[in-house]
Chain A
Amino acid sequence: MSQALLKIKNLKTSFRIKDDYYAAVDDVSLTVNKNEVLAIVGESGCGKSALAFSIMGLHNRAKIEGNILFKGKDLANASPTEWSKIRGKEMGMIFQDPLTALNPLMIIGDQIGEAIYLHNKNISKEQRKLKVIDLLEKVGIPHPERVYDQFPHELSGGMRQRVVIATAIANQPELLIADEPTTALDVTIQSQILDLMKQLKEDMDAGIIMITHDLGVVAEMADRVAVMYAGQIVEIADVYTLFENPQHPYTRSLLNSVPNNKEASSKLHVIQGIVPSLQFLPRKGCRFSARIPWIDVSAHEENPQLHEIEPGHFVRCSCYKHFHFPEEEVQ
């Protein structure tokens, strides 16, 4: 196995609401290796974006506990100056909405150029321009010289996302965090962007954390997958295992609720109830238990832990052993 690039241990990110702290990310531990795509899957409110922001140090007013070891250095409580040396240089981030992620009043060239300038102030302006044009070419933008002087609103959504990617990889970061990078794009553009990211990963030998709710994107991109529910990782495995042998009730439910192309017009699985909001997260016991009420309470652990059920495959709470869909026969 290759060397661990990022190692997160028992990360807890809490936000203050009124007088209390609520954990959006709770007890998350994971590793990302070089040249590996780790997908983090979950629905809105599961804490996947909060996790990404914690790794990038982008939370302003959050309490962060635990360790974020990046190349052996703990970033959990790094100072703003330390962060600005790492962000954009060793870690890059790709955002969801290319329409709003670029400064509307700055030409493309300056936006990408800024990322280079911030971490290498000795480069001359001319050299910087050449580097930016190089980057634009690398992410597959036609006529890079012309695009250099254009404003974001003059480009299509797909092209803008390429610019966002070019900005993120300007300094050859070792870790890329992509927060729903293709959600706002059309399918044909999505497949192009995913191909581009795969190729960049190979070229730069980078680790990628891919945050998404789209299981199709996961199946296309990921090497390993972590499934999040209510702030916690409930299952983590390599991508083949996760799709072939999903164990946690949430993972299984999620996979069954996607319209799959094999049996058209059959019923989709519906997960009962709703995702609890941050303030109403259950603090004790299995957080998913409320959504599978037909499973006996005794099946859940009192304090659910991740169990390694086969090498590299972890599942939280023992309820997976007793889980069945309501329409299935109990053996």
Chain B
Amino acid sequence: MSILKVKDLKVHFPIKGGIFGRTVDYVKAVDGVSFSIEKGMTYGLVGESGSGKTTTGRAIIGLNKITSGNVLFEGKDITSYRRAKADYYKDVQMIFQDPYSSLNPRKRVLDIVAEPLRNFEKLSRQEEKKRVQELLELVGLSPESILKYPHQFSGGQRQRIGIARAIALKPKLIIADEPVSALDVSVQAQVLNFMQDIQKELDLTYLFISHDLGVIRHMCNRIGIMYKGRYVEEGTTEDIFNNPQHIYTKRLVAAIPDIDPNKRKEHAKFRQEVQREYEQSFNDYFDENGLAYDLQSISDTHLVALPKKG
């Protein structure tokens, strides 16, 4: 059974205009997104800026208001049952992009990591301290760090504090929004490895949101590609990287710089070909508004947004 199921999710933001500030139109940040995540898997949500990937993640955890559609967590619809929500907020946690601004600079590590515990569990001071120390050890920070402030840590360590906070309540699903984009490569490696380790240890499921296809490929089992609030393609990592079907995905994959300088010329030529194809066949892949069509499945695992035949 899938742990998270998103059905036809829409998040529209009103555009205010005119003299009286009435709603004149909507920005369709997310417009009809459906996918599901199996337990223990890492699902990658990819797209360029403005694709709606972050809004999707935030809507799932309740940080953006859902316009329509459903989010089912372990079979329960959390968009309609208020009572299901308390548990939901405990079971689903978020890791944010910027380790420098997502931690309150005036709070000690103890208070930062203990915050979710204080909201959901009644622990004595001693118990709380012990739990926080355990969590810090788990993320590879020394237990003595509890009295320090965020600025006393490096970027990678801060991101670990953010992760410690996220796993404090033993969640089942973690939504990671660009968790390593602000980090240096070597630190990025550290955080990625660590995320894989705790995934096994705590039997976590990840929704991994990123624009970095290299990181996505490394981390994810299944990937969804978004463009302008809609899905253009979904499939296994294999499907997406080795057999992309939608021209948008092809172009995205082709744009990743190749780490082998010997293939430079070849790669550039390939990229130009894809770009030419993209320009020529844009209308075959997108509707009159430049948006993606609905997804059609082309194999057991692979879905592509193509116009209906006939």
Contacts and interface: CB of A to CB of B under 8 A. Distances in A.
Q: In the complex, are there CB atoms of A and B closer than 8 Å?
A: yes
A29 to B, nearest CB: 24
B304 interface: no
Interface stretch (A67-75, A125-133, A253-261, A317-325): A253-261
A243 interface: yes
Nearest to B256: A187
Interface residues of A, number: 38
Contact of B237 (A213, A214, A264): A264
B221 to A, nearest CB: 9
A227 to B, nearest CB: 12
Nearest to A217: B257
A44 B257 CA distance: 21
Given A43-B184, A268-B193, A214 B257 contact: yes
A190 interface: yes
A271 B186 CA distance: 6
B247 to A, nearest CB: 12
Interface in B204-222: 211, 213-215, 217-219
Interface in B108-162: 154, 156-157
A60 interface: no
A258 B193 contact: no
A38 to B, nearest CB: 14
Contacts of B255: 187-188, 190-191
B211 A257 contact: no
Contact of B257 (A220, A269, A274): A220
B202 interface: no
B218 A188 contact: no
Given A259-B192, A261-B217, A213 B185 contact: yes
Nearest to A261: B217
A45 B176 CA distance: 26
A257 B49 contact: no
Given A268-B189, A275-B154, 10 more contacts: A43-B187, A44-B184, A187-B256, A216-B257, A219-B264, A259-B189, A259-B218, A260-B214, A261-B241, A264-B217
Interface of B: 48-49, 154, 156-157, 184-190, 192-193, 196, 211, 213-215, 217-219, 237, 241, 251-252, 254-262, 264, 267-268, 271
11 contacts: A43-B185, A43-B187, A44-B184, A186-B49, A191-B254, A219-B264, A254-B185, A257-B188, A268-B192, A270-B189, A270-B190
